[in-house]
Amino acid sequence: MSQRSCLSVILAAGEGTRMKSAMPKVLHAIAGLPMMAHVVKAAEAAGATGVVLVIGHGADEMRKAVQKFAPKAETFVQEKRLGTAHAVLAAREAISKGYDDILVMFGDTPLIDAQALAAARQKLAEGAAVAVIGFRPPSPAGYGRLIEKSGHLIAIREEKDCSDEEKKIGFCNAGMMAVTGKHALRLLDKVGTKNAKGEFYLTDIVEIAGAEGLDVVATEESFESALGINNRAELAEAEAIWQARRRREAMLSGVTLIAPETVYFSHDTEIGTDTIVEPNVWFGPGVKIASGAKIRAFSHIEGATIASNCDVGPFARLRPGADLRNKAKVGNFCEVKQATIEEGAKVNHLTYIGDARVGAAANIGAGTITCNYDGYSKFFTDIGEGAFVGSNSSLVAPVSIGKGGYIASGSVITESVPDDALAFGRARQKTIPGKGKELRERLASAAAARKKAAAE
């Protein structure tokens, strides 16, 4: 089968009115990736050498989105919604190019397993003309039934067209199928509209193929993997299933999740063995974590790279561009954005580091801020190896702290500090004996006067 070419036709023209959204349904995200992109990834993993998307509602928005996750995919517009077979034929130009296999999929089934698609393709390689993917839902109500005889699929009956006996069948149509390329267009062109809805049903090609003496079979996928998304409640259910799968995968690959149900991964999260993740951690897109890191509770991480044996959190926020090198530490209530924290450097608590480099083994005291933005432009702060920045310091960029530099606590640093220098940037303290008592008495008297005036 590896030598067989395959075109995946993904139907994504539905309006998705039950989502109650101005955005096309299939662009709603699972794990930070549009559900349609999950379908594309599954098709590619199943060996699809070409991908086409049949779109309708929000076509311009769809095309822009597709460029991000499937730049080589072709798009075709279904101008009128006349049924699933009509939608597939919107991609006639692509189907006619002579692919061995045609996979027909739906853009709102983000949990589909690539292995299920490959299994359907395998049936084509073994001689079937059509292989339909079925599943067994908890209740078959509302689904088309797969009607089999002697191991062959003889019909798919939409529920509105089912007899009472057929409605008892528990094996249902998941909607997806594989069709041999040499038969696909001929079978599709024979589909008519003799049904309760007067539409061109893709499912009719099962009986059409059977009438021609072609072999039609059904394969079985899990209910979860075939789940279609129609509203936001089902979107949340799909997210929960995806996350449960990813957590299990992470743990089986050597990652410790102390409370797995509270950890949320993105579609592209990379996390190394022997990493420990404490409860209530959220990974956004673009996170790469090497082995042996510790991610403490309530941390929020996106677009960040974390090297081996780093320690992050609790309550840390790593924003895009955060780059933590080996054994770096970013502690509680710290935020790092577009900055490198080099090997062994410590940013322990209550600190903002943005547009900066913190050199190896440097120590950043509590409450330190890199003042990187003047309201119009961003500027860079460079902190050298082994530097010490005292608590509650403000480093006004552009500025550099040399190797081994020492910044006194409470300083506002506006000029660069040479290697091994000590810098103070604060007003001199002045103490006036007795002045505190005098000030308190004066303030108390003024407050009493205001209270009396208000009472009168």
Same domain, 244 and 203: no
- Classify 199 as helix, strand or coil: coil
Residue at a domain's end among 169, 194, 220? 220
In a 13 Å sphere around the CA of 396, the CA atoms on its Cβ side amount to 8
End-to-end CA distance of the chain: 95
Same domain, 163 and 56: yes
Same domain, 171 and 274: no
Q: Which pLDDT does position 58 carry in this prediction?
A: 81
Would 1 be classed as within a structural domain? Answer: no
Same domain, 371 and 240: yes
Would 315 be classed as within a structural domain? Answer: yes
Q: In this structure, what DSSP letter does residue 417 have?
A: B
Would 189 be classed as within a structural domain? Answer: yes
Q: Identity (one letter) of the amino acid at 269?
A: T
* Count of beta carbons in the 10 Å neighbourhood of residue 208: 19
Could you read off the pLDDT of 14-53 as tens digits, one per residue? 877 899 998 999 999 999 999 999 999 999 999 999 999 9
The token duo for 262 is 């509270």
Q: Which pLDDT does position 282 carry in this prediction?
A: 98
Q: Which pLDDT does position 426 carry in this prediction?
A: 86
Closest by CA position to 264, among listed 288, 291, 246, 290: 246
User: Cα–Cα distances in Å, from 434 out to 278, 355, 445?
Assistant: 52, 46, 17
Q: Which pLDDT does position 157 carry in this prediction?
A: 87
Q: Are strands 33-34 and 29-30 parallel, antiparallel or unpaired?
A: antiparallel
Q: Which pLDDT does position 430 carry in this prediction?
A: 86
Average pLDDT for 73-102: 93
Q: Looking up tokens 């036709």, which residue turns up?
A: 9
Buried b / exposed e along 97-129 (16+ C-beta atoms within 10 A): eebbbbbbbbbbbbbbbbebbbbbbbbbbeebb
Would 82 be classed as within a structural domain? Answer: yes
Q: Looking up tokens 């949990």, which residue turns up?
A: 111
Judge whether 284 and 304 are in contact, CB under 8 Å: no
Alpha helices in 355-434 (DSSP H): none
Evaluate if residue 97 carries a pLDDT over 60. Answer: yes
Would 455 be classed as within a structural domain? Answer: no
Judge whether 138 and 43 are in contact, CB under 8 Å: no
Would 302 be classed as within a structural domain? Answer: yes
Evaluate if residue 427 carries a pLDDT over 70. Answer: yes
- The total domain count for the chain is 2
Q: How far apart are CA 120 and CA 379, in angstroms?
A: 55
Could you read off the pLDDT of 166-187 as tens digits, one per residue? 999 999 999 999 999 999 999 9
Average pLDDT for 344-368: 98
Hey, which residues are catalytic here?
A: 349
Evaluate if residue 389 carries a pLDDT over 60. Answer: yes
Same domain, 251 and 216: no
| Relative orientation angle of helices 59-69 and 35-45, to the nearest 10 degrees | 50
Same domain, 198 and 253: no
CATH code for position 281: 2.160.10.10
Q: Which pLDDT does position 455 carry in this prediction?
A: 87
* Cα four-point dihedral sign 86, 90, 93, 95: negative
CATH code for position 61: 3.90.550.10
- Classify 414 as helix, strand or coil: coil
Same domain, 379 and 329: yes
HEC sequence for 112-147: CCHHHHHHHHHHHHCCCCEEEEEECCCCCCCCCEEE
- Give the structural domain span for 118: 6-220
Q: How far apart are CA 248 and CA 368, in angstroms?
A: 39
Would 123 be classed as within a structural domain? Answer: yes
Residues in the chain: 456
Q: Which pLDDT does position 2 carry in this prediction?
A: 58
Same domain, 277 and 140: no
Judge whether 41 and 246 are in contact, CB under 8 Å: no
Evaluate if residue 136 carries a pLDDT over 80. Answer: yes
Closest by CA position to 269, among listed 294, 243, 292: 243
Judge whether 54 and 90 are in contact, CB under 8 Å: yes
Same domain, 109 and 190: yes
DSSP lists the bridge partners of residue 407 as 389, 423
Q: Which pLDDT does position 297 carry in this prediction?
A: 98
Judge whether 391 and 365 are in contact, CB under 8 Å: yes
Contacts of 106 (CB under 8 A, 6+ apart): 10, 11, 12, 39, 175, 176, 228
Q: Looking up tokens 């393709």, which residue turns up?
A: 121
Evaluate if residue 1 carries a pLDDT over 60. Answer: no
Could you read off the pLDDT of 188-236 as tens digits, one per residue? 999 998 877 788 989 999 999 999 999 999 999 999 999 999 999 999 9
Same domain, 240 and 306: yes
Q: Identity (one letter) of the amino acid at 180?
A: T
Same domain, 300 and 416: yes
Extract the runs of DSSP E, i.e. beta strands, from 158-297.
172-180, 216-220, 256-257, 270-271, 276-277, 282-283, 288-289, 294-295
Same domain, 239 and 134: no
Average pLDDT for 106-132: 96
Average pLDDT for 73-99: 93
Could you read off the pLDDT of 143-169 as tens digits, one per residue? 999 999 988 999 998 888 888 899 999
- Supply the mean pLDDT for the chain: 94
Residue at a domain's end among 190, 220, 250? 220
- Cα 142 from chain centroid (whole Å): 30
Evaluate if residue 344 carries a pLDDT over 60. Answer: yes
- Please report which confidence band the pLDDT of residue 369 belongs to, taking 50, 70 and 90 as the band edges: very high
Q: Which pLDDT does position 197 carry in this prediction?
A: 79
Would 284 be classed as within a structural domain? Answer: yes
Could you read off the pLDDT of 296-313 as tens digits, one per residue? 999 999 999 999 999 999
Evaluate if residue 316 carries a pLDDT over 60. Answer: yes
